[in-house]
Amino acid sequence: MNKKMITIIAALAMCTAMAGCSESEPASSSKAETTTTTTAAAESAAPVESNADESTADESAVTNVGTTDYDVDGDFRAFEQLKDKYDGNYLASLTGQMTNNGTKYTICIKDGKAYQSLTIQGMKSYTVCPGDGKLYNISEGTTTYSIEDFDESELKAADILFGATLDFDHAYVDTTTNVVQEYYNLDSSVSGGEGQIVYGFDGATYDLQQVVLLPEGADESSAVYFTVDSIGEADDSLLTVPDLSAYTEE
């Protein structure tokens, strides 16, 4: 697989089994992630900017309604606050939104090391770049693994929150849900294609709630939407060489 992710969706949708870290063909678990990501792209909806009369919204059906002090034309950007706190050192858990069961993702980044896991219907596969120049792909479902060379210059491709984000484009406030949406352009040299990444923040606390990927020219039906379940500092225990004694090398 090319070092640059084949599509913008594969790029940021958890970087399909660390596709950005390796040129070799992905393991079977990686192929499963690609299929799931494509499904999510077809079934998800981006946070589009509504032109409807917001005064007619059914507020009884809306949660987290409030009045944010966010100024779309101001200097403050919630993403910059997030980046200052977590860039280069974070552990994030996300759920890809699908019509059946959400796909669970975990990403851990620290000191040039990376960990990513994917769980689909209870089946987990994960990839570790522990800083030894190698990339370990492990499938718990098939109890198999593979080891590849890891180019640390490609670490950006594994970093869903910050690795491919370039300049700020615009912001939008959904006043019915009190969500601040900040739109940023993507670095095509990392993502493998043009497009934008949208960060959704709670309008009161500016906590990150969602990440949406918008390929160039895409409509809302081809966006990829993730909810952020949690985010905190990196867990060093995830960034070590895995115990492969019970696994078979492919």
Q: Which of 22-26, 30-34, 44-48, 178-182 has the lowest mean pLDDT?
A: 30-34
CA distances from 147 to 4, 135, 219, 250 (A): 19, 6, 38, 9
What is the rounded average pLDDT of the residues 58-64?
42
pTM score of the predicted model: 0.75
- Average pLDDT (64-76) is 83
**Pair of tokens at residue 198:** 């949208």
Tell me: pLDDT of 197 over 60: yes
**pLDDT > 80? residue 126:** yes
β-pairing, 144-149 with 248-249? parallel
The per-residue pLDDT for range 134-147, each reduced to its tens digit, is 999 999 999 999 99
- The Cα–Cα gap between 15 and 84 comes to 23
Q: Which of 90, 96, 82 is nearest to 205 (CA)?
A: 82
pLDDT on residue 158: 83
Distance CA(132)–CA(68), nearest Å, equals 46
pLDDT value, residue 33: 36
Please write the tens of the pLDDT for every residue from 213-237. Answer: 888 876 666 778 889 999 999 999 9
